[in-house]
């Protein structure tokens, strides 16, 4: 066991030394890159070829863009069909996809088209002498590094504000929130003085940062103890999040379906009803949110009811695996395509916040029903999904130890990173 530990420690330290070297190289590279920034838009007449890049905007269609480049109707239909069969591309996404057109000269016809659906994938279409288009997908190599950010909750802070102050990018912060929401009640578990940290991926291509990747580890000193979660690759190649002991961190249901929504009324067996005026049980939890806020399904399952009644207004009820059901009330409208019998994923939008039925203002009324009985969504014990078998668990515990050592080192040297 000691050997394993030494091995892992050496491995992490080696990586950190490498990281420092890479950092220095990067500073040098960066200076070079800023001087020779690549032109992404407009014409680039480097060498003999002529290149132009089109950024897809709202309302653009593939055939429309191709037509503007002087391609014939026949060529366009061939390109559209090759893209579909060769790369699975059937449509364009505004403000995300880019298309590059290459010609031999300004006046020549297009002989190469590069569709760029993500920073990590390029689909190259080339036209042979006979005029037939062929398609080839190129995966762009990426360098990934793990970076560390930490922060502390101040008086009057929300976790979101504190996370932004700590320099955690918005997308990562929202992923962290999603993860912690399985274990924490942000309404009651967050206090000034609590510390948190996150280790996440930054992806680079040719020395330039392109985007952020996954959350690798997260830690939060919650009121009822430190919550830690780690992303881990199992022997079958799939990934999951696990707590320190290797228990599945993703639960079958979310306690608070809408991120960052304030609890305005808790679960209770007796409360004075705000509209009816007399005392009756409140079988769910109310979350304040503005009209139109998307309501995600708390867990994977099947819609068993979708309708209207005078109390709940527009509501949806979902049956999940095992013994749980969830109910979402007072919706302004349902999501298109979500009907009785529809199978939904965890996090999939099923409808939108409103104030229909017996309601004093826009909010989500959320109920969890276990074995036919209403339970408190914020405290009910929820089953984990994706638990580890013994072999994976042993591997996880080794990995976690190594990662913890790396995190400990980075917490002392936050300017460094781990090369993955």
Partnered with residue 327 across adjacent β-strands are: 317, 367
Gap between the Cα atoms of 243 and 387, Å rounded? 10
Pick the piece of the chain touching Zn ion (CB under 5 A) from 60-68, 92-100, 296-304, 363-371.
363-371
Quote the least distance from Cβ 370 to Zn ion, whole Å: 18
Which segments within 223-297 are labelled E, that is strand?
A: 225-233, 239-242, 262-265, 268-272, 279-282, 285-288, 294-296
Pick the piece of the chain touching Zn ion (CB under 5 A) from 46-54, 175-183, 225-233, 283-291.
283-291
Q: Please report, as residue ranges, which positions from 82 to 141 form the binding site for Zn ion (by CB under 5 A).
A: none
- Secondary structure (3-state) at 385: coil
- Secondary structure (3-state) at 415: coil
Quote the least distance from Cβ 346 to Zn ion, whole Å: 22
Quote the least distance from Cβ 252 to Zn ion, whole Å: 22
Label the pairing between strands 121-127 and 98-103.
Answer: unpaired
Q: Which is nearer to Zn ion, 117 or 362 (CB)?
A: 362
Q: Which of 161, 124, 155 is nearest to 139 (CA)?
A: 124
What region, left, alpha or beta, does residue 246 occupy, with left being phi > 0 and alpha being psi -120 to 50 degrees? left
Pick the piece of the chain touching Zn ion (CB under 5 A) from 85-93, 226-234, 280-288, 381-389.
280-288
Given 15, 145, 365, 374, the residue binding Zn ion (CB under 5 A): 365
Interaction between residue 286 and Zn ion (CB under 5 A): yes
Quote the least distance from Cβ 264 to Zn ion, whole Å: 9
Could you report how far apart the first and last alpha carbons of the chain are, in Å?
A: 24
Gap between the Cα atoms of 41 and 49, Å rounded? 15
Q: Which is nearer to Zn ion, 140 or 358 (CB)?
A: 358
Question: Which residue has the closest beta carbon to Zn ion?
Answer: 365
Interaction between residue 312 and Zn ion (CB under 5 A): no
Q: Which is nearer to Zn ion, 273 or 305 (CB)?
A: 273
Q: Which is nearer to Zn ion, 62 or 375 (CB)?
A: 375
Number of H helices, E strands in the chain: 6, 25
Quote the least distance from Cβ 187 to Zn ion, whole Å: 15
Sign of the dihedral through C-alpha 53, 55, 61, 64: negative
Q: Which is nearer to Zn ion, 306 or 365 (CB)?
A: 365
Gap between the Cα atoms of 20 and 18, Å rounded? 5
Q: Which is nearer to Zn ion, 97 or 286 (CB)?
A: 286
Q: Which is nearer to Zn ion, 118 or 266 (CB)?
A: 266
Q: Which is nearer to Zn ion, 254 or 365 (CB)?
A: 365
Gap between the Cα atoms of 161 and 101, Å rounded? 43
Quote the least distance from Cβ 265 to Zn ion, whole Å: 6
Q: Which is nearer to Zn ion, 261 or 407 (CB)?
A: 261
* Per-residue buried b or exposed e for 376-407, using 16+ beta carbons within 10 Å of the residue's own CB: bbbeeebebbbebeeebbebbeebbebbbbbb
CB 197 within 8 A of CB 219: yes
Quote the least distance from Cβ 295 to Zn ion, whole Å: 14
* Structure tokens belonging to residue 111: 């002989």
Quote the least distance from Cβ 268 to Zn ion, whole Å: 10
Report helix angle 390-412 to 2-35, nearest 10: 50
Pick the piece of the chain touching Zn ion (CB under 5 A) from 250-258, 285-293, 374-382, 383-391.
285-293
Interaction between residue 367 and Zn ion (CB under 5 A): no
Residues of the shown chain interacting with Zn ion in the complex, contacts defined by CB under 5 A:
286, 365
């Amino acid at each position: 066991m000691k050997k394993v530990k030494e091995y892992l420690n050496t491995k992490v330290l080696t990586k950190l030394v490498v990281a420092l070297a890479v950092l220095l190289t990067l500073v040098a590279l960066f200076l070079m890159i800023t001087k020779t920034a690549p032109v992404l838009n407009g014409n680039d007449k480097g060498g003999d070829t002529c290149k132009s890049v089109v950024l897809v905007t709202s309302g653009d269609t593939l055939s429309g863009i191709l037509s503007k480049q002087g391609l014939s109707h026949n060529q366009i239909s061939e390109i559209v069909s090759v893209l579909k069969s060769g790369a699975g591309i059937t449509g364009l996404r505004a403000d995300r996809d880019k298309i590059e057109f290459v010609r031999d000269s300004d006046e020549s016809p297009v002989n190469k088209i590069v569709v760029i659906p993500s920073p990590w994938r390029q689909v190259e279409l080339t036209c042979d002498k006979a005029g037939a288009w062929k398609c080839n997908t190129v995966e762009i190599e990426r360098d990934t590094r793990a970076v560390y950010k930490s922060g502390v909750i101040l008086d009057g802070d929300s976790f979101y504000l504190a996370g932004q102050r700590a320099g955690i990018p918005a997308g990562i912060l929202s992923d962290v929130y999603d993860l912690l929401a399985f274990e924490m009640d942000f309404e009651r578990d967050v206090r000034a003085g609590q510390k948190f940290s996150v280790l996440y991926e930054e992806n680079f291509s040719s020395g330039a940062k392109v985007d952020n990747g996954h959350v690798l580890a997260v830690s939060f000193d919650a009121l009822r103890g430190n919550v830690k979660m780690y992303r881990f690759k199992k022997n079958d190649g799939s990934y999951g999040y696990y707590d320190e002991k290797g228990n599945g961190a993703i639960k079958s249901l979310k306690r608070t379906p809408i991120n960052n929504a304030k609890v305005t009324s808790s679960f209770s067996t007796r409360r004075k009803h705000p509209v009816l005026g007399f005392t009756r049980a409140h079988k769910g939890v109310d979350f304040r949110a503005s009209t139109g806020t998307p309501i995600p399904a708390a867990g994977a399952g099947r819609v068993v009811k979708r309708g209207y009644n005078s109390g709940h207004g527009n509501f949806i009820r979902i049956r999940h695996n095992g013994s749980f059901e969830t109910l979402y009330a007072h919706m302004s409208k349902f999501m298109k395509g979500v009907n009785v019998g529809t199978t939904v994923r965890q996090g999939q939008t099923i409808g939108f916040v409103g104030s229909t039925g017996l309601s004093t203002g826009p909010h989500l009324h959320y109920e969890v029903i276990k074995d036919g009985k209403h339970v408190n969504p914020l405290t009910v014990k929820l089953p984990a999904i994706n638990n580890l078998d013994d072999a994976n668990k042993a591997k996880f515990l080794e990995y976690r130890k190594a990662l913890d050592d790396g995190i400990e080192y980075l917490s002392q040297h936050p300017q460094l990173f781990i090369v993955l």
